[in-house]
Structure 1
Amino acid sequence: MSKIEKSWYQSKSWLTFLLLPLSGLFWALSTLRCWSFKVGLSKTFRAHVPVIVVGNIGIGGNGKTPFVLWLVPFLRSLGLEVAVISRGYGSKAPYYPFLVTPDSSVGEAGDEPFLLAARLDCPVVIGADRRASCELINKRYNVDVIISDDGLQHYQMHRDIELCIVDAQRRFGNGCLIPAGPLRELPSRLKNVDLLIENGGNAPLSYTLAQTGIYQVCNNQRTEQYPLQGVAISAIGNPQRFENSLRELGISITDTQHFRDHHAYSIEDFKAHTNQAIFMTEKDAVKCHAFANDNWYYLRVDAKPSDALQSSIKQILKQKEIYHGI
């Protein structure tokens, strides 16, 4: 994490105030862009089926991916066929839109889309042009709803439901826009979303990230036989949450190493820890499977939503006439 990123979650400092003019410029440009869509100067598109956006107003580390991993099977349990679209940050696909399949590489797909495709039994399409992604789904699949993993600020795409994820601990950091703070939009934007959902905390509309096992990176097999000390290595938005989860399992962390979110790992990144057990997240693990040692492990977590959140999602699906069940 860079010095600037660390300042986002601390009291305002000289660095914050130094960057505020750039945040003002960011606010002006983003406000102008948003206004252009509202008044029709910039054109929007509507997909052939309803779109649910799972996003946030800040940068990274809010826990969207585990929530999407829960939301897709939840919608399918209601009888809805689902597809997922994502920008595919960090992907190097041969073309776009790109359908992520079990035969795709993590390099082609990007870490989060690869994980989504590996865990979910539904189409996952990546590409910056979300209209093209929706059109590809329309041509190849018969679905009832599309989930956009991120894209709250992608105003070109009409959305039927907006679900905004907020980290209950870090929330909005210092409350400033990029680059003085972590926000892409001001907190006032939350008045317009359909549901504000906390990752952690005690809010009625919330979910927790439950630990669901330690797995070996080399074979993706769950194991009960793992060391109780090792190095925690991660390239995620909020590594402290991951490291605290390891400690809750009784694992003593002898050292930590943090890379930028979506970092493309190579074996060189691990040379300083050759003889030590390594613990990482599932998102990290998908990028290390090809060269992992036997003593590399990842912690799997799954979203556990409150009853109130599940009921609220059902209710809003009915209001939007996406779901007609009991």
Structure 2
Amino acid sequence: MGDTLERLWYTDSRPLAWLAPLAWLYGWLVNRRRRAYRNGRRPVHYSPLPVLVVGNITVGGTGKSPFTAWLVSHLQAKGWRPVILSRGYGAKPEHYPCLVGPDSDPAACGDEPVMLAQQTGVPVLVDPQRARSAAYVEREKLGDVLVCDDGLQHYALAKTLEFCIFDGARGVGNGALMPVGPLREPLERVRSVDFCLITGQPEHAVFRAGLPGGRQCHGVTLVPTVLRNLNSGEIQGLEWLSGRVVNGVAGIGNPARFFDTLNDLGARVIPHPFDDHHRFHADDLEFPHGPVVMTAKDGVKCRAIAGDDVWVLDVISRPDGALVAELDQQLEQPGKDRTHG
């Protein structure tokens, strides 16, 4: 159902326009909720620590997690001790907040939190109430800066900096609010974020027309690095893919982007898309011919069921130099916490 909706949303037309009354109601509820936090009718937690939020205003994958991993690495290089806060989609831990490590069970903690714990080595906390996670970090002195993976629509925790990420090709789809289109919030929301980012080339018409308020976008490149055997840990260079028939497996928000990446690296891809956050079983990875290549997010869920020829394509995020310079300048400004909206 999710994949079908996204195919309808990410077109130039609005085949679900008959649902416009629901989209209007959804937009009214979103604005009402945001005003409740702004006007003090709902409580907001103001952390003494900087709060950096990486998110989007559209449904589907835009490259948030790779950028979150880069941001954590950059903060560490500047001497910060970051802690990642995540809602943990599909997580069912025994208690909240749940401290996630590299060997945590993704079925209990969520796939993205475990992946980020493996990639960054920093503490990762899962809790749908991010303010509660923030208070835990402050109390236990786990770090000195909070990085929220997703959470642009989470207003109960005041934010220092917001990063809104778009996929360059898909943009805002048909530009309508859910359920007519893929927008979680009105496009005007970009006026209040600190950074607008685009992964890939800005092909969608919204970028040619210009974002509200004349917001400029920084470019972020997703760079494949190596192939890693999920079973043995063996590493292969990207040239290993050239001319090779592979079964591309992706249970992410935008599987087509992953398959395109494999094709660009010279592989002959047999695509096998799954729903985002799909819980894999062994027979999902059984194919008559060729190795399996999947994303790092899927890999954390498949370690226990992977055969000898299952590989992960590791990818890093590389933002443009202008973003890095502006970010460093912003981080030097004290006392900037506030609630957006």
Q: Answer yes or no: same fold by TM over 0.5.
A: yes
Residue identity matched to 1:155 = Y
AA matched with 2:220: Y
Matched, 1:7 2:8: yes
| Aligned equivalent of 1:231 | 247
Amino acid at match of 1:312: E
Take 1:64 and 1:211, find their aligned partners in 2: how far apart are those partners? 15
Q: Deviations over 1:48-76 (max 9, x none)?
A: 31111111111121100000110001011
Instruction: Report the TM-score when normalising by structure 2.
Output: 0.89
Whether 1:250 aligns to 2:266 is yes
The whole-number CA distance in structure 2 between the counterparts of 1:141 and 1:220 is 34
Higher deviation after alignment, 143-152 or 223-232:
223-232
Give the alignment partner of residue 265 of structure 1, picking from 280, 300, 306.
280
Deviates more, 1:95-104 or 1:78-87: 95-104
Name the CA distance, whole Å, in 2 between partners of 1:142 and 1:126: 14
Q: Give the drift of 1:141.
A: 2.7
Q: Give the C-alpha shift of residue 139 in structure 1.
A: 2.6
CA distance in structure 2 between the partners assigned to 1:276 and 1:256 by the alignment: 12
- The alignment partner of 1:309 has SS state of helix
Q: RMSD between aligned alpha carbons?
A: 1.8
What's the TM-score once normalised by structure 1's chain length?
A: 0.93
**SS in structure 2 at match of 1:290:** coil
Q: Does 1:27 align with 2:27?
A: yes
- Separation in structure 2 between the aligned mates of residue 130 and residue 204 of structure 1, nearest angstrom: 27
Report the counterpart of residue 72 of structure 1 in structure 2: 72
Structure-2 residue corresponding to 1:317: 331
AA at the equivalent of 1:22:
L
1:22-50: CA deviation from partner (whole Å, max 9, x where unpaired): 11111111111111111111111112311
List per-residue Cα deviations over 1:212-239 (Å, max 9, x = no partner): 0111121333124568112111111111
Cα distance in 2 between the residues matched to 1:321 and 1:25: 36
Give 5+ residue unaligned stretches, structure 1.
Answer: none
CA distance in 2, matches of 1:221, 1:35: 52
Q: Which amino acid aligns with 2:274?
A: F
Task: Kindly indicate whether the alpha-carbon contact (under 8 Å) linking 1:84 and 1:125 is maintained by their aligned counterparts in 2.
Answer: yes
Distance 2:285 2:116 in 1: 25
Provide the secondary structure at the position in 1 that maps to 2:301: coil
Matched-pair contact (CA < 8 Å) for 2:54–2:148: yes
Give yes or no for contact 1:160–1:320 (8 Å, CA) kept in 2. Answer: no
| Structure 2: runs of 5+ lacking an equivalent | 203-215, 337-341
Shift of residue 11, structure 1, vs aligned partner:
2.4
Report deviation, 1:103.
Answer: 3.4
Is residue 211 from structure 1 mapped to residue 211 from structure 2 by the alignment?
no
Alignment of 1:129-208 (within 5 A): 129-201=129-201, 205-208=218-221
Q: Which residue does 2:235 correspond to in 1?
A: 222
Number of residue equivalences: 319
Identity of aligned residues (%): 36
1:10 is displaced (CA, Å) by 1.0
Question: In the alignment, is the contact (CA less than 8 A) between 2:227 and 2:311 conserved in 1?
Answer: yes
